[in-house]
Structure formats: C-alpha cells, structure tokens
Amino acid sequence: MSARTDVWQAKFERLRSNKLFEILVISVILVSALMIGVNTYPLPPLATKAIVVMDWGITLFFLVEISVRFLGETEKRRFFRSGWNVFDTLIVVVSLIPIEDSELALVGRLVRIFRVLRMVSIIPELRTLLNSLLKALPQLGYVMLMMFIIFYIYAAVGSTFFAEINPALWGDIAISMLTLFRIMTFEDWTDVMYETMAVHPLSWAYYLSFIFLSAFAFLNMIIGIVVNVLEEEHQAQAREEALAAGEPTLSELRDEIRGLRELIQSRA
C-alpha cells in the first residue's frame, strides 16, 4: 500500500512540475481574467449562462490543480507553510461556495477577481518581485515618512503664501498636499507655477526645490532600495538552487581557494 502511495505521489509531483501543466494553469487563469472583464459589459442571457458554466468549470479545474499540487508534495505539512499555497487554497475553497444568489454575492465576485492574483503564485519571477517589494517595505517606510515631512512643510508654506491666489489649489494644508502630489507627477505643474509667479515672481524656487527633493531625490531612493532588495532576493534564490543541486556556494568556493592558498604557502 505504501509503495502504491509513493508511486502516485511521484506521478503527482512530476505532473505539477511539468511545464505544459504550468502553461495550462496560466492559460486558465488568463481565461478567468478575461471572463471577469467580459462580465462587466451588458451581455445577452445565453452568454451570461455560458459564462456561469465556464466559471464553474474553471473553479473545478483549480480544485483539481490545487489537489495535484498538494498530493505531489512530499511532506504534506510543508505545503501549508507557504503563504502562497494557503492563499490559493482559500481562493479555491471560497469559490466553491454557492453564494451567487445570496447576500454574499459581492464577496463571491470579489473572490473570482482575486483569482487573477494566482498568476503571481504560479510564476516564480512574479513571486520574486512581490517578495522583494514586501521585504523592501521597512526601508521604504522611512523614506515615505521623510517624504511626508517634506510634503507637510511645503504644503504649509504653499497655503500661507498662495491661498489667496487660488483657494481651490492652496486653500488648506490637505488640498495643498494634493496639489504638491500633482506637481510631483508633473501634471500641468507649470500652469500652477505661472499662476503664483504672477503675484510672487520668485515662487519658481519653491516649485523647483520641491520637485528636486520629491521627484528626483526621494523617488530615486525608493527605486534604489527596491532594486537592491531584488538583487539580494535573486542571490538568495541562487544560493538555494545551488544547495539543492549540491553545487558549492560562493562562500564555500572562497573557503576552498583560501585553503588551497594556505596549503601552497605551507609547502613553498
């Protein structure tokens, strides 16, 4: 009985690691995403019924797919240690609940929308990008805090000097911060600047200094942090793959070279 179980487990493991199977899963996720978009348009009753049938077919396919991934796992407990596996399982289980005609119909539609996120759990490169972004959040938090301080100071200055010129843009500090966000994204910021320069000719220094700090300095800092964390994530994955393949890591190679160098120097 154990041998037969091992045989089936090996078959499921080969199936879930098969590239064609992964392509099929990605294709079904794309079809599910297209159905979500099509369902936002007014459709004839026949098309609506066809979409409902296809939706249930996709849900059953996802149930089979998550079952294959679970059965192909050597250690079943380790399957639910992955947050992505837990997310996929919750999405599939909630999709199976018939709530279309109940008060929770909105929840059912939202769950089907979030099925598109399964693309991230299937494609390793997307997982790496998201994991890098999540790991970068603590460092990004300090940059965002500093940006908020700069926004707050400039918004207070803008409200003080420009409120009488255009209350719709500089009436209070909250509106001023929204205006500064518009300036940071370069959305017709010159029109705002020329309007205040008609009254305060030197106000150009206010805008240029703010753009330099926000759009150039802080945004480049954010990009640098994300790129650095992404590089570290790639290096960590490379080390894990090397360990899984039994290949020596970079630190091990350095230790071997150092040992060979000491051996040569001792014999010289």
pLDDT score of 1? 47
Distances, alpha carbon 41 to alpha carbons 18, 44, 179, 200, in Å? 36, 10, 35, 51
Is the whole model's pTM more than 0.75, yes or no?
A: no
Kindly list the domain boundaries of the chain, sorted by start residue. 1-122, 139-251
Confidence at 223, pLDDT banded by 50, 70, 90:
confident
Q: Give mean pLDDT, residues 44-62.
A: 87
Higher per-residue pLDDT: 150 or 81: 150
Q: How far apart are CA 155 and CA 173, in angstroms?
A: 5
Look up residue 62 and give its amino acid.
F
**Nearest CA to 5 among 85, 80, 73, 81?**
73
CATH architecture for segment(s) 1-122:
Up-down Bundle (1.20)
Cβ neighbors of 194 (< 8 A, separation 6 or more) are none
Query: What does CATH list as the number for 139-251?
Result: 1.10.287.70
The predicted structure's pLDDT at residue 20: 87
Tell me the residue length of the chain. Answer: 268
How buried is residue 87: exposed, middle or buried, by Cβ count under 10 Å (0-12/13-18/19+)? Answer: middle
Mean pLDDT of the chain: 82
Q: How far apart are CA 91 and CA 106, in angstroms?
A: 14
Please, which pLDDT band fits residue 14 given cuts at 50, 70 and 90? confident
Q: What is the mean predicted confidence (pLDDT) over 50-76?
A: 85
45 pLDDT exceeds 60? Answer: yes
DSSP 8-state secondary structure symbol assigned to residue 43: -
pLDDT surpasses 50 at 100:
yes
Taking only the tens place, the pLDDT of each residue in 145-200 is: 999 999 999 999 999 999 999 999 999 999 999 999 999 988 889 999 999 999 99
User: Structure tokens of 8?
Assistant: 């089936």
Buried b (16+ CB within 10 A) or exposed e, 215-249: eeebeebeeebbeebbeebeeeeeeeeeeeeeeee
Q: How far lies 267's CA from each of 35, 71, 255, 256, 264, in Å?
A: 73, 56, 18, 17, 5
Structure tokens belonging to residue 189? 């910021």
